[in-house]
Structures are given as C-alpha cells and as structure tokens.
C-alpha cells in the first residue's frame, strides 16, 4: 500500500516532460543527507486510483507524466498504478524515482517510461552532477537508454 505526502508539478525531473511528482512515504532507503527525511515515516494518505483519476482530471492538459518519488517498499503498487494510468489515461507517461542502486527485474510489458536509480551520495551529487552515481533511464520497447547526461550543463 502506497501512501503519499504531497504532489506538485515539476519541470526538471524528467527531461521533456511536465510531471506531477507524487512524494511517496515510508521510504526504506535511509540515504545519508536525504533531502526529504520526513518521507521515511509511515505518514500521509493512501494513494488510490480515484486520487490518481481526480488529480489527472484536475491537471488535464497541463501534465505529460506521473512521477512516483519513492515507493521502494512497494514496487508492486508502483507497477499496478502505472498499468492503470497507461490504460485509463492514454498519453500520460509514468516514471519512478528509486533510491535503489539497480533497476529491479521488470516484466516484458513494463508500464514505466522512466526509472531513476541510485541512492543519494552527497560527495557525488544528484543527477545534475556528471560525477553522480544516480542514473535516469528511458524505457522503450524493452530497451533502456541512459539519459542522465541530459541534466548536465555544457
């Protein structure tokens, strides 16, 4: 069961997408210097299909992607909601920001369009630092493409 703390429209987390970032609580990762340590707590409201539907309706024509920020404790729920979004809201992409260091094994018909992996390591920085250990992958036709470089200024 996924619970969320907040939602906000964001422009930088997924290149070329206007994303509705849903901050998922109960994070098990315990990354040192986490930017959102309150998301480790089991707080917030249960994220249901009805909430997804109402939120997408509210921001209709303003968002292109639903971004699950966290949810490492319940990948099954992330996948289930992503399938639901793909089927019920044509054209809305889905993304998942995970603190895990590897992409979990996904089914061949995986509904996610993007996955960010990697725990935050302060000395390496976030996705906008070329030295980062974190990676953002675009998933398409059973292929994964590392698009992390798109965050780096030239």
Mean pLDDT, range 84-95, rounded to an integer: 96
What CATH number is given to the structural domain containing 96? 3.20.20.70
Distance CA 52, CA 79 (A): 14
Percent of the chain with pLDDT over 90: 69
pLDDT (tens digit per residue) in 39-67: 888 999 999 999 999 999 999 889 999 99
Q: Spell out the residues 6+ positions from residue 50 whose beta carbon is closer than 8 angstroms to its own.
A: none
Q: Spell out the residues 6+ positions from residue 26 whose beta carbon is closer than 8 angstroms to its own.
A: 3, 39, 40, 41, 42, 43, 73
SS3 of residue 148 by DSSP: helix
Domain limits at 64? Answer: 3-132+141-151
Percent of the chain with pLDDT over 70: 99
Task: Select from 64, 61, 77, 68 the least CA-distant residue to 4.
Answer: 68
Give the predicted TM-score (pTM) of the model: 0.93
Residue 80: CB atoms within 10 A of its CB come to 14
- Beta 114-117 vs 135-140: how paired, if at all? antiparallel
| Number of independent structural domains in the chain | 1
């Amino acid at each position: 069961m996924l619970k969320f703390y907040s939602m906000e429209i964001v422009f930088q987390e997924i290149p070329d997408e206007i994303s509705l970032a849903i901050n998922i609580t109960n994070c098990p990762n315990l990354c040192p210097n986490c930017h959102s340590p309150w998301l480790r707590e089991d707080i917030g409201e249960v994220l249901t299909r009805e909430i997804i539907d109402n939120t997408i309706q509210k921001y209709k024509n303003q968002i292109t992607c639903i971004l699950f920020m966290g949810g490492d404790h319940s990948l099954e729920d992330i996948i289930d909601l992503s399938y639901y979004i793909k089927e019920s809201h044509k054209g809305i992409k889905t993304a998942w920001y995970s603190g895990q260091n590897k992409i979990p094994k996904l089914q061949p018909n995986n509904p996610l369009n993007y996955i960010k992996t990697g725990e935050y390591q302060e000395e390496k920085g976030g996705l906008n630092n070329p030295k980062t250990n974190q990676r953002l992958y675009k998933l398409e036709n059973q292929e994964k493409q590392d698009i992390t470089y798109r965050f780096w200024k030239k």
